[in-house]
Amino acid sequence: MSEIESINELNADLFSSEEVDRFSDPGEARKTAMVYLARREYGQRELEQKLIAAGFAAVTANETIDKLTGEGLQDDRRFIDNFAHSRISQGKGPVRIRQELGERGLHADLIDEVLEEVAEDWCALARLVRDKKFGPELPREFKEKARQMRFLQYRGFESGQVQAAFSPHGDD
C-alpha cells in the first residue's frame, strides 16, 4: 500500500459517515434549534441560517424549522412582537424597527401588521426619547433643533413623529 492510499484511509476514518449523518439528522437539527430557541426567539430565516452555519444541510434545517413552526415552538409573529417591544424600550422608532426586522428576512406585511398591533404612541415615544437625551427644554436655536431632529431620525422616527417631539408637551 502506498503512502497516499494510507493517508486517504486515515482521512476517510476522520471524516466518517457518522459525522456527515449527524448534520443530516433531523433529530440533531431539532436539538440544536431548541437550544437556540431556549436562549431567545428567532425568525425562521435567521434560525435557518444559524443551523446551516452550525453545519446542518439546508434541507434538514428547513424541514426542522417547518416542524417547529407547525408545533408553535417557532413563530415569526411572536418574534416580531418581542423584538418590537425590545426596541421600543430602547427608544427606537418604527422605521428603525422595520429596517432591522427586514434585515432578518421577515415578511414586510407581517412586520407592518404586528407593528400596527403594538399600537405604540410613536409621537409620545419620540418626545420621551428627545427629553431623555436633551432635557425637557425645547431648543431655541435652529442648529440645535436640527441636531436633535437628526438624532430622532437616526433612532427611526418618521418626520411627523419627529415634529411632534418638538411641540409643547401634551400637544400633537
Q: Is 7 exposed, middle or buried (0-12, 13-18, 19+ CB in 10 A)?
A: exposed
Collapsing DSSP to helix, strand or coil, 6 comes out as helix
If one compares 147 and 26, the residue with the highest pLDDT of the two is 147
* 0.85 surpassed by pTM: no
Angstrom CA distances, 1 to 6, 9, 13, 164, 169, stand at 7, 11, 17, 82, 87
* Ordered domains of the chain (ranges, CATH): 3-70 (no CATH), 76-118 (1.10.10), 122-164 (1.10.10)
pLDDT of residue 22: 72
* Secondary structure letter of residue 66 according to DSSP: H
- For the chain, helix (H) and strand (E) counts, in that order, are 11, 0
Q: Give per-residue pLDDT as tens, 20-79.
A: 567 778 889 999 999 999 999 999 999 999 999 999 999 999 999 999 999 999 999 999
Q: Which amino acid is at 118?
A: V
